[in-house]
Structure 1
Amino acid sequence: MKFLSKTKKVALKGKTVIVRIDLNVEPGRKLDSYRLKAVIPTIHFLRTRGARVVLMSHRGYPNLKPKNRLKSLATDWNFDKKNKELSLKPFVKVLSRKLKESVFFVPYEKSWLIDKKRFLAKQRESVFLFENLRFYWGEKTNDMRFAEFLAGWGDIYVNDAFPESHRKVASIAGVPKYLPSYAGFVLEREIENLGRVMKNPRRPVTLIMGGAKIVDKIDVIEYLWKKTDAVLLGGGPANTFFAAEGLPMGDSLVDVSAFPFIREYRDKGKIMLPVDSERFARADLERILDIGEVTMCWFADIIKNSETVIWNGPMGLFEKKGFEKGTIAIWKAIFALAKKNPKARIVVGGGETVASLRLLKTKNYKLKTKNLFISTGGGAMLDFLSGKKLPGIVALSKTGKR
């Protein structure tokens, strides 16, 4: 695999570089996301070395109606309200502001009709943003005709979309077959930091797993089990353990498919469950929505005495006022460990986990420390830490030479 950071200026000057990034932000949420900010250094690097940049991403799940798949990769669909909300056009202003140069938007309806190279050469802009890749039928199906179509927009391909690198789609797994390809700065950092805690972690090792489902985290727990000293559970994973024990969970989030895993691992001495909780009562339904104060203190103590910490998934429904305390407590323990122990290795990931950072007054905490890595990935992070081969990373080792 080749890394963009090791590429010489002469290899980039005058070239058009396709950069796959991740702008998958739900409508109504802040566009200036952590993932967007993370890719700016990659774009700056390319621009300062004389390259033009074509940015590509997907967003959400558009309503698509297939046209004639055999004759065309285009899609017959209407700009209904949902699809309009999923356009990437609103990101033009944000990117222009971050990059301090204008960004040209390439709309869906024109992308099929134009001579790509001539079109790019005529524009005064040097950074282009492609429309939502999921507006195209061939993206999700990893159609090689569509991958070749995308590759026609550039001379070089860079994958800087780690959050999507576990998906076998055309822009991730297909395009590298047609172009010389590189891992961008974001992807390189992810491989380095996640690889470090996975292959040779400093003990004691603590896994913290929350969020909605435990089934998404089972592979990580199993893969790292022998290297792990404690597994702290909150949210849906903890509720599922309690339900498997036969405890009444009311309307709490429970994942029945994980019961076989629980039966196998519950008595092995490493899994730590909340000893108290914050509940929300409504009529005859009762839901556990956060860990309680005793558990917060207990979990924080374990974290502060760890050498390696991996966290994915909030402790409760932090979006609802009154049930954010458990997640905040974990964040504070994480920052305390990072400050106290420079040799500790800490990895935090998952879209909701990172989003919960807004609950803290982050100016009081150092986000940029060598021992704390905030991953851009959710599912991709879990797959990587499970020892699985990510299609986006595998594709970079088998690139084209055009």
Structure 2
Amino acid sequence: MDKKTIKDIEVAGKTVLVRVDFNIPRNKETGEITNDNRIVAALPTIKYLLEQGPKAVVLFSHLGKVKTEEDKAKNDLSVAAPRLAELLGKDVTFVNATRGEELESTVKNATDGQVILVQNTRYEAGESKNDPELGKYWASLGDVFVEDAFGSVHRAHASTAGIPAHLPSAAGFLVEKEIAYIGKAVNAPERPLVAILGGAKVSDKIAVIENLLKVADKVIVGGGMCYTFAKAMGHEVGTSLLEEDKVELAKSFVEKAEGKLILPIDSICSDKFGVDGDIKECGADVPAGYMGLDIGPKSIELFKKELEGAKTVIWNGPMGVFEMEPFAKGTVAVCEALANLEGANTIIGGGDSAAAVMQLGYADKVSHISTGGGASLEYMEGKTLPGIAAINDK
């Protein structure tokens, strides 16, 4: 990686500002954390910094979307402090402010590597607008900046791109690892490279499909978006998810792909979106009044065959509505196929596919699970990510 990492910077005696990703899922009723993976993922960077003898480690993160006062109450970042303290085995000072006297004095008076967690960055209206004044203000609190929130580096926000405009900056271990895995997979893969794309809409993944058709040896498509491709190839899709305005685009992808694009040949269909409908296997055509909700058994066998011998696999998006047991088989089969690929670099691109891999118990059987769905997708599109671009070059 041509960007500075935390091993390239001096932090002893300094106040280190760290952008982490503590955008953690919580129980809607109780507000309790339901999955602490993102906090755990930040620990290697925080622990390493603490070992270097800094004055303070000041953590910034967003939590949820904040547009109203009700959103503020619902997305109070104080929920993360006790869990972080428990995992670190060290006190964490939570500052219930994003600017002002309390924040400034807490940071100024910190000693002996005190860990400080700042309230939700999105409490500031200027955060998502990358307000230059806000980025400059936050930067004034510290001496050096570490970017370790891969899930947010595709956004040009004050806490991701604004702060490093004013301070020496470096990538934390999590960001370094993400770039190493996803960057190598896209830019210098061991071949054959197979990409698997699922999810609901072609429109969400147009640029990804375009870029991967250039760099991958095969692109397998499942999920709801495959029915737009099916329609483009002249098949009936019943009431399946369909983007009519993207049918011509899908047709052009099929033509340009020259056999690289692998599409399902059958579906698991139902006459209603739920587990209580008339569920049956359908061929390439979905009958009228039915919708495709998962890839079928023939497609599973086809996809497994296409994965044979792959040395690099990138997977982003489930094959069906995997939250419902009757429509989970396609996603489970892809998980199993990746888990059993000998000697392959298998990368799960965040979001629903990461949730599926963890939920189905295959997390330790793949090479890398990305912490950032949107960021990994944009990286696969070949886009420059603002939070990465802002880090100092080596």
Partner of 1:16: 15
Q: What SS does the aligned partner of 1:157 have?
A: strand
Moved over 6 A (4+): none
Asked if the contact 1:176–1:395 (Cα under 8 Å) also holds between the matched residues in 2, the reply is yes
1:269 to partner: Cα distance: 1.3
In structure 1, the partner of 2:92 is 103
| CA offsets 1:6-54 (integer angstroms, 9 cap, x no match) | 236xx21121111111122344285434332221100000111112211
- Aligned ranges for residues 206-225 of structure 1 at < 5 Å? 206-225=194-213
Note the aligned Cα RMSD (angstroms).
2.4
Structure 1 residues 318-363: Cα deviation after superposition (integer angstroms, max 9, x where no partner): 11222111111111111101xx22xx2222112111111233234x
- Letter of the structure 2 residue corresponding to residue 321 of structure 1: E
Q: Which residue of 1 aligns with 2:183?
A: 195
What is the TM-score normalised by the length of structure 1?
A: 0.85
State which drifts further: 314-323 or 259-268: 259-268
Q: Which amino acid aligns with 2:271?
A: A
Letter of the aligned partner of 1:171 in structure 2?
A: S
CA deviation after TM superposition for structure 1 residue 252, in Å: 2.6
Following TM superposition, by how much is the alpha carbon of 1:125 offset from its aligned partner in structure 2, in angstroms?
Answer: 7.7
Q: Rate the CA distance shift 1:104–1:123 in 2: closer, same or farther, 3 A.
A: farther
Aligned position for 2:254? 266
Taking structure 1 as reference, are residues 31 and 133 closer, same or farther at Cα in structure 2, changes over 3 Å only? farther
* Contact 2:168–2:392 (8 Å) recurs in 1: no
Partner of 1:279: 269
Given candidates 112, 119, 122, the residue that maps to 1:131 is 119
Could you tell me which residue of structure 1 aligns to residue 43 of structure 2?
Answer: 40
* Deviations 1:219-251 (CA, angstroms, capped at 9, x unpaired): 222223243222111112212212334544344
State whether structure 2 residue 379 is matched by structure 1 residue 384.
yes
2:322 aligned partner, one-letter code: F
Alignment-derived partner of residue 67 in structure 1:
none
1:375 corresponding residue in structure 2: 370
In structure 2, how many angstroms separate the alpha carbons of the residues matched to 1:18 and 1:203? 39
- Once the 2 structures are TM-superposed, how far is the Cα of residue 264 of structure 1 from its aligned partner? 1.1
Mapped to 1, the partners of 2:65 and 2:16 lie a distance apart of 26
Cα drift, residue 181 of structure 1: 0.6
Aligned to 1:298: 302
Contact 1:236 1:255 in 2 (8 A): no
Structure 1, unpaired ranges of 5+: 65-77
Alignment of 1:83-98 (within 5 A): 83-98=72-87
Shift of 1:217: 2.3
Of the structure 1 ranges 174-183 and 112-121, higher mean CA displacement relative to structure 2 is found in 112-121
Whether the 8 Å contact between 1:116 and 1:152 is mirrored in structure 2 is no
Asked if residue 397 in structure 1 is aligned to residue 386 in structure 2, the reply is no
Residue 143 of structure 1 pairs with residue 131 of structure 2 = yes
Structure 2 SS opposite 1:254: coil
Contact 1:62–1:134 (8 Å) recurs in 2: yes
Which amino acid in 2 is paired with 1:277?
S
In the aligned structure 2, how far is the partner of 1:398 from the partner of 1:4? 9
Instruction: Tell me the amino acid that sits aligned with residue 315 of structure 1.
Output: M
Q: Deviations over 1:87-141 (max 9, x none)?
A: 1111112211211112111113x73233615555258881111111111011011
Q: Kindly tell me: are residues 104 and 292 of structure 1, through their superposed partners in 2, closer, same or farther at Cα, counting changes over 3 Å? A: same
* Percent identical residues: 37
Q: Secondary structure of 1:127's match?
A: strand
TM-score, normalization by structure 2: 0.87
Match of 2:155 among 154, 158, 167: 167
Aligned length: 372
Which residue type is aligned with residue 25 of structure 1? Answer: I
CA contact (8 A) 1:203 1:307 kept: yes
Are positions 1:312 and 2:324 aligned together?
Answer: no
Matched letter for residue 91 of structure 1: A
CA–CA distance in 1 between the matches of 2:254 and 2:245? 15
Secondary structure of the 2:109 match is helix
In structure 2, how many angstroms separate the alpha carbons of the residues matched to 1:255 and 1:186? 36
Work out whether residues 107 and 116 of structure 2, in 8 Å CA contact, stay in contact via their aligned partners in 1. Answer: no
Q: Which residue of 1 aligns with 2:347?
A: 347
CA distance in 2, matches of 1:94, 1:131: 15
Q: Note closer, same or farther for the CA distance 1:285–1:40 as it changes in structure 2 (3 Å cut).
A: farther
